Chains A and B, each alone.
Chain A
């Protein structure tokens, strides 16, 4: 191959020099990415590879389905609760177990708490430094920084003295040689556009956000019993409610309800007065960086989440929208049915798994996870030391999920595009306001910055919805309903001999589904499609490329040995990965290695 067109509308050209992004970590979903650059350092081909066998499905076989959440919670350090919630929903679906209204409210509060905390941490601690130059912040004038901060937000911590203190603290830290979180930046790169004062403001809020996020997760401790790794329960939530405050130790009483309420107030305040103003201020300096849209303008998917009422799976009951958009037709939102064997299918002809017939995909209930690791004929290196994969053959441990044959983007931007297309004012109005504040057209939404902005808007949305469900829960409790769990079918003797179910959530980084088959009280098959499977998927038999690969195309790199542009776009998906970048010449010889955060 040199130049080809993919069925989903992208032009690929692999004739130029190749850059490799390879993993350095050993625990989470590893990822590697290779791109080809043309003579102007513009990305013309992108290849996304999941490099780690993820055997979750295999370790659950034969176990008690009521325990599956506890295992799935351990897959990943961040999505702990969202995997647990998805798992209990799948088992309840299989066994037809309705949950009490209070359990629905509490689960939504747990999930919205995760959304708010995770988006906040992602923005400041994982993504902001792709746009913010820490070293430049040391040159800022604290007084001018204070003026800037006060011009964009009423947030009270904004005096010159405050910024002077922060600057001194960071300076001391950097000069002590323990760069820690700031170790791997490309400080001073011409790709950074913020003036020193904006950099200092953002660095100050980096620290404030880290300090504040601990408040948000106290909600998990109150309703989940402990944090990290809160408790979940098939049939409801394991927390007892006792408004009189007598009786069971650890029960949720009025004092705890009031504590949650005050945390929610402070969360809303922090997000709306710090995160959102910072987001807009930073974006205003990068309006001409329009890359990274990928599939977001054409193919997006959301399963929907945050059910308003318990036990109603209709799309109308989901406060985060459900639907699929394909071919860029925003006028048509397709229904999504996770049970239909023709809709969601996983392909493995480009993945290191074996199917009997790899020209076809399999629905997760029929899913097979049988490894088949081998490199294609054009790969460079050896099976234990790959220099370049052959994307025309198998090249990833990630299967390729497709919705009716389409590669889809999932995540906050997908949810906001669907909500916007539905004309839902909760999503459309904030998007229109951001675009008009920045003086940008709707097209600007479909970009790396649009993805980053959608995450910020969703963080605020989640915080306000926390208020809604906390009030709803409190009102229901005051009306006398303190039920949090349905244990009618706890006993496996009341289960059918064979049952299958699906559970979904909208995790912070996108659509998450667990499909379970239960036989004689034990798990017979368990398949999970995680958000990064959708976004990071390899190619499929038709040649469609996934969201990561699509989003990197046509992005110019200022310096190939400083892959800041690749990081910006990959980080904007909030992927489960970390990478180490090698820059190699077309003959496969390594030129430079850059450690990537």
Chain B
């Protein structure tokens, strides 16, 4: 595992406020919203988005106009869910080219570019493509928030979130709730509840998943050296982000490095 240079860090410079809307200007009726976690929970920090939804689903209940969705790696099949939302919040592990464990908030038109190279399904549909298809079909969300964490480790099959990434679940949820509050969307209950479509099978709950893991001796956990060397975060370990890197209108290219 790579050392994390800045555990728990939030990328404040990138935390530009969405100009729309201010609470006082919000319409009385909140818009239809989708809070979506994407990624593969079998791949260490790739599970970040899904784990955020797991925590939210366990803790909050919302009115019917907000859906929590564990989107996994469904790719193109998420188009319809995305189209039905006016406000879309996405939790994900994102290669921003920032120090591992950094949480970064991106809003509006900049969001697709950060998700451009991320291929999430068998059909290898990037989430950018999902948003483009939603637009082409009519009904792309008008308001977008991406709450992404820079992963520490992905190449650990069967592994769980690294501590620096796990520590960002709570701040990530706070960012999402703050954003939703701007649309007059608030949790109805803030302790425990069920959210349809969001709960995984209990064996996949974070605690059971981690407790039931076979030992490294009995179960190989890593892929081959080429894949390890392809991971983008490792390129940036010794590079402090420059101010322009952090601005959502100048996103880091998120393509994976060429082999």
Interface residues of A (CB under 8 A from B): 22, 24-30, 51-56, 58-64, 67, 69-71, 74-80, 121, 125-126, 169-170, 173, 178-181, 207, 210-211, 213-214, 217, 226-229, 231, 352, 369-371, 373, 383-386, 397, 576-578, 593, 597
Residues of B within 8 A of A58 (CB): 157-158, 214, 218-221
Report B124-140 residues with CB < 8 Å from chain A CB.
Answer: 124-125, 128-129, 131-133, 135-137
In the complex, the answer to whether B77 meets A217 with C-beta atoms within 8 Å is: yes
Report B203-231 residues with CB < 8 Å from chain A CB.
Answer: 203-204, 212-214, 218-231
Give bound CA distance, A75 to B74, whole Å: 11
Closest 9 CB pairs of A and B: A180-B132, A59-B158, A77-B121, A58-B219, A67-B203, A77-B73, A578-B124, A70-B201, A214-B80
Given contacts A61-B219, A173-B136, A229-B200, contact A78 B224 (CB under 8 A): no
Give bound CA distance, A74 to B200, whole Å: 11
| Shortest beta-carbon distance from B249 to chain A in Å | 16
Partner of B230, one of A26, A369, A370, A577: A26
26 contacts between A and B (CB under 8 A): A26-B119, A26-B256, A51-B227, A54-B157, A55-B158, A55-B219, A55-B220, A59-B158, A61-B214, A63-B203, A74-B41, A74-B204, A77-B72, A77-B123, A78-B75, A78-B77, A78-B121, A178-B132, A180-B129, A217-B77, A226-B196, A227-B197, A228-B72, A370-B220, A373-B224, A578-B124
Chain B residue at minimal CB-CB distance from A215: B80
Residues of B within 8 A of A370 (CB): 220
Give bound CA distance, A63 to B209, whole Å: 10
Question: For chain B, which range describes its interface: under 10, 10 to 19, 20 to 34, or 35 or more residues?
Answer: 35 or more
Known: A28-B122, A210-B79. 15 other contacts (CB 8 A): A26-B119, A52-B227, A59-B42, A70-B203, A74-B204, A77-B123, A210-B137, A211-B80, A211-B137, A214-B79, A226-B196, A229-B70, A352-B224, A383-B225, A384-B259
Give bound CA distance, A29 to B119, whole Å: 12
In the complex, the answer to whether B121 meets A369 with C-beta atoms within 8 Å is: no
Chain A residue at minimal CB-CB distance from B232: A26
In the complex, the answer to whether A25 meets B124 with C-beta atoms within 8 Å is: yes
Residues of A within 8 A of B119 (CB): 24-28, 578
In the complex, the answer to whether A55 meets B221 with C-beta atoms within 8 Å is: yes
Residues of B within 8 A of A28 (CB): 73, 119, 121-122, 124
In the complex, the answer to whether B73 meets A76 with C-beta atoms within 8 Å is: yes
Residues of A within 8 A of B125 (CB): 181
In the complex, the answer to whether B74 meets A228 with C-beta atoms within 8 Å is: yes
Residues of A within 8 A of B137 (CB): 207, 210-211
Give bound CA distance, A396 to B74, whole Å: 26
| Shortest beta-carbon distance from A377 to chain B in Å | 18
B168 interfacial contact with A, CB 8 Å:
no
Given contacts A26-B154, A178-B135, contact A121 B223 (CB under 8 A): no
Residues of B within 8 A of A59 (CB): 42, 157-158, 213-214, 219
Chain A residue at minimal CB-CB distance from B95: A26
